Chains A and B, each alone.
Chain A
Amino acid sequence: DVKVTQSSRYLVKRTGEKVFLECVQDMDHENMFWYRQDPGLGLRLIYFSYDVKMKEKGDIPEGYSVSREKKERFSLILESASTNQTSMYLCASSSGGRGVGTDTQYFGPGTRLTVL
């Protein structure tokens, strides 16, 4: 079974702090994704990566950056946390290439971040 793990289930930070959320997958997947999930807004894509050191912006990248130095690890960074970044953050991975349709996403358990 694919396993995607995230560094924390719950995190509380203060406004202005730098926050690191880490995600690790154990299935040698090429693609990794970071989403945030808010009530009524579904899952919104923040950033994704299709290869080591490669990254692309999703729909809501403002206030976030990412790092992928190793294939199995994808980090989401909040340079200066703000209260409007309080949310559930979900990491996912998939094995598909550009020509693969289904590209099933496997999700981690999520990190509920609260910024005070």
Chain B
Amino acid sequence: GQSLEQPSEVTAVEGAIVQINCTYQTSGFYGLSWYQQHDGGAPTFLSYNALDGLEETGRFSSFLSRSDSYGYLLLQELQMKDSASYFCASRGSGTYKYIFGTGTRLKVLA
């Protein structure tokens, strides 16, 4: 089966750096994706790691370690608008089934 675990909540101040972790168990693995969801909105795609290492997209970076079954999303220069829920997601190899993590609610304080 597949499961992805995340901390339920993270709080940080504006301008800071925050890391949101994701540990996973999957039978086969096709990489780790990250999505952002603001209250009342739909999830939107942020980032994807197919291979080990760091992927950078502006203020957001995502990291994957397949040997540790672990990844994280790094948000730099936090802004108030980054207050949202963040989900990691993955798909097992040889399947179309796409599973989301439990989600992390990020609160950015002024």
Contacts and interface: CB of A to CB of B under 8 A. Distances in A.
Say whether A and B bind each other. yes
Interface of A: 31, 33, 35, 40-45, 48, 50, 56, 58-59, 90, 92, 94, 96, 98, 101-110
A90 B41 CA distance: 10
Interface of B: 8, 30-31, 33, 35, 41-45, 48, 50, 87, 89, 91, 94-103
Contacts of A103: 30, 33, 91, 96, 98
B102 A41 contact: yes
B33 A102 contact: yes
A31 B102 contact: no
A50 B33 contact: no
A107 B48 CA distance: 17
Contacts of A44: 100
Contacts of A107: 42-44
Given A98-B95, A105-B98, A109-B41, 14 more contacts: A33-B98, A40-B8, A43-B43, A43-B100, A58-B97, A98-B96, A102-B31, A102-B50, A104-B33, A104-B45, A105-B33, A105-B35, A107-B42, A109-B42
A59 B91 CA distance: 13
A17 to B, nearest CB: 26
- Consensus secondary structure, chain B interface: loop
A48 B44 CA distance: 19
B36 to A, nearest CB: 11
Nearest to B4: A42
A106 to B, nearest CB: 8
A59 B99 CA distance: 9
Nearest to A50: B96
Contacts of B95: 98
A90 B42 CA distance: 8
Contact of B101 (A42, A56, A59): A42
A92 B96 CA distance: 13
